């Protein structure tokens, strides 16, 4: 029951109609019997400053931040975690007695999905990352924090964008190689044991698309993490499984980054299985 003691959590973005965060977080709040409610807020870019002022005035306990606000919101906050500062994006804001603190939990969610769903306590020395957008920033940062990862092949259709990303996060350049995402370079994917697709290729309504023109580089010793989760099985996942490899969708990463945000806000570890179950039910209903 909503009462005068109920604290508010939410997500801001444009659009927000597609978000699974409300069903996941409300399932976790209900399971732990916490007096919070999580709601989506549609915030257009020109209203971001007013929205954050509203967070302060209304004493909203915490917010998730999604596109297109992850970078712009940083200017409105009192403190930013080192990880979020280096990545250049905030996806979680905690309100601590009027002080707004920005975090980025995407890298945590990525690594936790590999660990819990992929069984990768230790990452392979050779990793390939497809894409150089917002999700790739957090993933590349997380990979660079793991000393066992010796080399990262960063493939993107626009090479200049990938070079800029690598230059910002790894200026010394010794562990990251940038190349165009084309048939010639995808052959090099086979040298690694982990492939990450951080692009939106294969997302609904383009389920028949794959970022790989030729899947011959895929092999049985490979794990794929495709951050797409609508559909739950992408064409790239099917290509990997056909080659004998293992494939994960992005739902786990979504849930684990959300779980980390939940813990930041409430101080309690959420029931991740309840969050995943709620998200799956939402997709099955659509």
Residue with tokens 């020395």: 125
User: For residue 11, with 0-12 CB atoms within 10 Å meaning exposed, 13-18 middle and 19 or more buried, which class applies?
Assistant: buried
C-alpha angle 235-238-244 in degrees, rounded to nearest 5: 150
d(CA 281, CA 261): 21
Closest CA to 243 of 226, 225, 211, 221: 221
Q: In the annotation, is 281 catalytic?
A: no
In this structure, what are the phi and psi dihedrals at residue 200, rounded to the nearest 5 degrees? Answer: -95, 5
Catalytic residue among 70, 122, 161, 281: 70
DSSP-derived secondary structure letter, 176? E
d(CA 70, CA 47): 14
Catalytic residues: 70
């Amino acid at each position: 029951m909503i009462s005068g003691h109920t604290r508010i959590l939410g997500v801001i973005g444009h659009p927000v109609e597609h978000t699974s965060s409300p069903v996941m977080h409300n399932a976790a709040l209900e399971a732990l019997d916490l007096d919070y409610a999580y709601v989506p807020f549609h915030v257009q870019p020109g209203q971001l400053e007013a929205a954050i002022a509203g967070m302060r005035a209304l004493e909203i306990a915490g917010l998730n931040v999604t596109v297109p606000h992850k970078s712009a919101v940083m200017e409105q906050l009192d403190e930013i975690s080192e990880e979020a500062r280096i990545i250049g994006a905030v996806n979680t804001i905690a309100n601590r007695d009027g002080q707004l603190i920005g975090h980025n939990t995407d890298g945590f969610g990525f690594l936790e999905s590999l660990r819990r769903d992929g069984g990768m306590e230790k990452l392979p020395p050779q990793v390939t990352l497809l894409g150089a957008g917002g999700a790739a920033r957090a993933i590349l940062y997380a990979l660079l924090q793991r000393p066992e990862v010796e080399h990262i092949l960063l493939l993107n259709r626009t090479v200049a964008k990938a070079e800029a990303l690598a230059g910002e996060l790894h200026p010394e350049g010794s562990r990251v190689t940038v190349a165009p995402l084309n048939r010639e370079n995808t052959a090099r994917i086979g040298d690694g044991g982990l492939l990450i697709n951080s692009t939106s290729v294969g997302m609904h309504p383009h389920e028949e698309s794959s970022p790989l023109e030729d899947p011959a580089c895929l092999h049985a010793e490979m794990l794929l993490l495709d951050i797409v989760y609508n559909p739950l099985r992408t064409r790239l996942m099917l290509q990997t499984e056909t080659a004998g490899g293992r494939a994960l969708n992005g739902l786990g990463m979504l849930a684990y980054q959300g779980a980390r945000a939940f813990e930041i806000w409430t101080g309690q570890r959420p029931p991740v299985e309840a969050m995943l179950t709620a998200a799956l039910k939402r997709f099955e209903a659509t």
